[in-house]
Copies of this chain bind each other. A is one copy, B any other.
Amino acid sequence: MRMAELSRRTGVPVPTIKYYLREGLLPAGERTSPNQALYDEPHVRRLKMIRALVEVGGLSISGVRDVLAAADTTDISPVKVLAEVQDRLSPIHGDEDGEHWQAAHDLVEDLIKRRGWHADAHSPAGVTLVAAIASLSDLGRDDLVGLVEIYAEAAETMAAADVSFVMERDNGIDDIVEGAVIGTVIGDAIITALRRLGHQHASNVLYDDPSCEPE
């Protein structure tokens, strides 16, 4: 298909498609003349994935590039590809020299050990967790650290379901990686939104607000 149809099919404006081509996020089409190229279904799919990562996942263009680069690395074992993809989906924040870093790190190591998780406290996700817990202490809200155990239980259940959903399709490594990227990024958005709806519910129930009765 021509670029105009690619735009129509995906809802992405032509100038944006050209930008993604220049940035190398989208592979070039098959050139048919100096000014024209043809695109096919993988382009449609890739373009939709880029939009989802940007619009729903909130990733920057360079973040999208990193994730796609990991997703395109299919010459290693699936578990390594998934680890690569996931690492690039976990931006690291935080100050390792902070006052509460070591205590938070010990807490995370202990949590992983107690739960018997085959997981690495030094991976980007582990470091992000340490940073977040350290910042609760920095803010004088150590009381909230008590929630981590409840979250860990919930996260374990969700993650096990995620992995079995993504794996059971048996459509090859590309499909698994695509599912992992989409499921991780859009899954984050779904989970945080659901937790906020849960907060609405819990605080309405607590304060017994009659304006929020369900229909």
A191-215 interface bits toward B, Cβ cutoff 8 Å, 1 = contact, 0 = none:
1111111111111111101001111
Residue A72 lies at the interface, judged by CB distance under 8 Å to chain B: no
A213–B197 CA distance with the chains assembled, in angstroms: 37
Within 8 A of B (CB), among A111-137: 112-113, 116-120, 123-126, 128-129, 131-133, 135-136
- Interface size for chain A: under 10, 10 to 19, 20 to 34, or 35 or more residues? 35 or more
When distances are taken between beta carbons in the complex, the residues of chain B under 8 Å from A116 are 214
Q: Are B157 and A203 in contact (CB under 8 A)?
A: no
A162–B58 CA distance with the chains assembled, in angstroms: 25
A4-22 interface bits toward B, Cβ cutoff 8 Å, 1 = contact, 0 = none:
0000000100000000000
Of B118, B159, B213, the contact of A195 (CB 8 Å cutoff)? B159
Within 8 A of B (CB), among A41-62: 45, 48-49, 51-52, 55-56, 58
A202–B78 CA distance with the chains assembled, in angstroms: 13
Residue A31 lies at the interface, judged by CB distance under 8 Å to chain B: no
Q: Are A79 and B204 in contact (CB under 8 A)?
A: yes
Q: Are A113 and B214 in contact (CB under 8 A)?
A: yes
When distances are taken between beta carbons in the complex, the residues of chain B under 8 Å from A119 are 197-198, 200-201, 204, 212
Q: List 17 A-B contacts (CB under 8 A).
A: A45-B140, A52-B138, A56-B94, A78-B203, A89-B196, A123-B197, A125-B197, A126-B197, A128-B196, A133-B190, A136-B182, A150-B161, A151-B187, A155-B191, A162-B202, A163-B203, A184-B195
